[in-house]
Amino acid sequence: MLNIRKGTIDDLPQVHNLIKELAVYEKAPDEVTNTLEDMHWDGFGENPIFKFFVAETEEGIVGIALYYIAYSTWKGKMLFLEDLIVTERQRRSGIGKMLFNAVAREAKEIDAKRMKWQVLDWNEPAIAFYRKIGANLDGEWINCNMTEEQIKAYTAD
């Protein structure tokens, strides 16, 4: 029995565990600095900045799709799928597609003009899935970011 539903504050401990599991899969286990307290505040505080769906079985939460609303200067409102995670023992069982479908339905419901996400270039199963559903895999754009330390050190001249 599998249920896909919107996530709640009570789901956060299991969600955080899945995030840590993903970090191990992506060969970056020490990179997760996000805490449960941060997630409580950021997802359910005064100004929530993310939402998520969960895939739940009798054993608990086995997958999540975490997203937020962003804005494109060219297109307008867009939905950004930050992470789609399925616990390792449940991968390739269709759960990822069900979570993706829930997020795509949400994008339609909010009248998003674009839905975006990223995939690591070595994650062949995910790339194959995204190609199969007809998504655009754009090699033209380069992802840029600044770490917390870089942000703090940055000085606008």
Sign, CA dihedral 133-18-68-122, equals negative
Q: What is the DSSP string of 83-110?
A: EEEE-GGGTTSSHHHHHHHHHHHHHHHT
Q: Which residues are catalytic?
A: 130
| Strand pairing class (3-6; 51-57) | antiparallel
Could you tell me which residues come within 8 angstroms of residue 19 by beta carbon, excluding any fewer than 6 positions away?
32, 34, 64, 83, 85
Helices (H), the chain: 12-25, 36-44, 95-109, 124-132, 148-153
d(CA 16, CA 84): 13
Distance CA 27, CA 142 (A): 21
